[in-house]
Each structure stands twice: as structure tokens, then as C-alpha cells.
Amino acid sequence: MPRLGARPKRGDMIEILRGPYSHWGIYVGKGYIIHLTSPDGTGASCCASSTSAMACLGEVKKELLKGVAKRDNYRVNNGTGTPRPVERILRDAEKQVGKQTLYNLILKNCEHFASQLRYGQARCEQVRYWLRCLLVVPLLHCD
């Protein structure tokens, strides 16, 4: 579980690199992150059923970063924008721990959760990236 780049500070967004996708959380100090996770921890269970429409019930957890990252690399990736005050980020994150909430791979995933806490606005750059790929690549391969 090697860290790439800067040591995380409280309130930082943490990106755990998992091949084609990343998992996200908020670093709260002493080695812990708070993150939204799907029942299986990967989001795959949300796609298992056609009736789920890629949505399921997720849970907000506070766990050791090294336990969540396992052997995957991770890094601080705060993106851009003006963050909310650190104490407010941490307070709001702690209030969510243990709560169950909708988890949707496209509309309400772990990156949306982390950016909502840090910036007050739910964003997901990886969904935007994959949607652009899905829309542009077919146009490049048409006859």
C-alpha cells in the first residue's frame, strides 16, 4: 500500500488507485479515512442486478486507510476548488459514520461523497471521464 506523493493532512481527499477506477475518502487523521462504500466495497454489487439501475444501499465507514487501500497505491488528490474549513469537513464527515445511504455508481458514489464534504459540492471526475469516453469512442469507430 505505497503512498504516492504528499503525506495526507486532515480534510484531504484520498484517492485509492484500483486499476480502471479509484476509490475515494476523506482523511481524518491518525491513519483513518471516512468513506462511502457499497456492500461489497467495490460497487460491483450495485451492478449485479438489472433492477438496481446501478444503485444500492451503501454505508459510510471510518476505517484505517491502510486497511481500505490494502495493496493498492493511494495519494492525496484534492482536485481544484476552494475547500470548506477543515473542522467543518471533519465534523460533517464524522456525523455520517454508520449511516446507510443510496450508493449509485454514476450519481452518488464515493468520489461524490468526498467532494461534497471537502467542497460542499458533489462532483465525480472519473464518471465524467468515463462518460466522455463512452460518448466519443463510438464516434471515432463509425463507418
Check which CATH number belongs to the domain holding 63 and give it.
3.90.1720.10
| Cell numbers found for residue 6 | 504528499
Count of domains forming the chain: 1
pLDDT by position in tens, the chain (length 143): 578 888 999 999 999 999 878 999 999 999 999 999 976 665 554 554 444 555 688 999 999 999 999 999 999 999 889 999 999 999 999 999 999 998 887 788 999 999 999 999 998 877 655 555 555 545 444 44
pLDDT value for 20: 79
CA 85/CA 6 separation, integer angstroms? 20
Catalytic positions: 23, 35, 110
| Cell numbers found for residue 122 | 458533489
| Cell numbers found for residue 118 | 471537502
| Cell numbers found for residue 67 | 486497511
CA 62/CA 32 separation, integer angstroms? 7
**3-state secondary structure at position 26:** strand
Name beta bridge partners: 5. Answer: none
Which domain, by its residues, includes 136? Answer: 3-140
Short-list 47, 65, 64, CA closest to 56: 47
Q: What is the DSSP letter of 52?
A: G
- H or E segment and range at residue 91: helix 86-96
pLDDT value for 87: 98
| Total-model pTM | 0.82
pLDDT value for 106: 78
| Cell numbers found for residue 110 | 464515493
